[in-house]
Amino acid sequence: MKTWQKILILTLISFAIGGLYLLSVWKHRQDPGVIGRNNASQTLSQDDLVVLRSFFPAHFDDLQRLEGTTVWMQNGYTIPYFPYVGGQVEFSKRVGLIPSAQRLDVKKIVKASVPANVDDGIEHGSRQALAVFALPGSKGLFATPIGAMQGNEEAYYTDILFFYDDPHAIYTHWPKDVWAAIDAHQVKQGMSERETRMAIGQKMHPDGEKEGDRTVTYDQDGKHWTVTFAKNRATTILTTIGSE
């Protein structure tokens, strides 16, 4: 097939797709009620409209772009971190779980074999990839797992674990008092479920499927929060320490 014939076929396909789209729009406009119902069901909040950067790392070398950058923990209170001393990860000295929205200044990305008795929230594989980072105002370096390798298989979770931009600059529409509670890892009445997760983490046990109208229990590294939401606003907040 000649080049001009290929171009002609592609052009015809494009016109056909465009024609179907215009026909669909025309039909919808004949029934204002349909448009009204669709708009009502597709109403987006300001939270839904924020843009979160991703880079889909597929190989260990892809992770090198994080070195020298700053990230913020998105999946709060789910992933542990360990001291990084003398080029080694001290898996036996778990520091804790990384809090929500915590700033991490990434220094380098390393590989390490993880002892079988260490549960760090990510499959061990033959080796794990770990981000070595510094915490603002803290001395020393720490490491946290971000993926694993097993033979030819590799899996990395940085897009799930981290914000690549300061969440304060992402959710600029959240009120100052809400951000003050989030920065203190606290929940206050009136906060939404998303704001609550940003404050006390993603390890949660909801009693229903409808977000914003249910009771959710959060495990904040041993501190348990039970928060009841109505119309996506926290109405009742209870806290306990230790086992539920």
Quick: pLDDT tens for 94-113.
999 999 999 999 999 999 99
Higher pLDDT: 48 or 192? It is 192
pLDDT for residue 52: 94
Beta-carbon contacts of 94 under 8 Å, excluding residues fewer than 6 positions away, are 80, 81, 82, 118
Instruction: State the pairing for strand pair 233-241/96-97.
Output: unpaired
pLDDT confidence band for 68 (50 / 70 / 90): very high
Rounded Cα distance, 204 and 142, in Å: 26
pLDDT for residue 241: 87
Tokens representing residue 86 in the block: 């003398």
pLDDT for residue 243: 56
Quick: pLDDT tens for 80-91.
999 999 999 999
Per-residue pLDDT for 142 more than 70?
yes
Coil, helix or strand at residue 79: coil
Per-residue pLDDT for 23 more than 70?
no
pTM passes above 0.85: no
Taking residues 20-44, report their average pLDDT. 47
pLDDT confidence band for 43 (50 / 70 / 90): confident
Taking residues 134-144, report their average pLDDT. 95
Taking residues 13-22, report their average pLDDT. 42
Taking residues 12-33, report their average pLDDT. 42
Domain limits, the chain: 3-39, 60-163, 174-241
Coil, helix or strand at residue 21: helix
Quick: pLDDT tens for 187-205.
999 999 999 999 999 999 9
Coil, helix or strand at residue 104: strand
Per-residue pLDDT for 37 more than 90?
no
Roughly what angle, to the nearest 10 degrees, separates helices 32-41 and 3-29? 100
Tokens representing residue 215 in the block: 């009771």
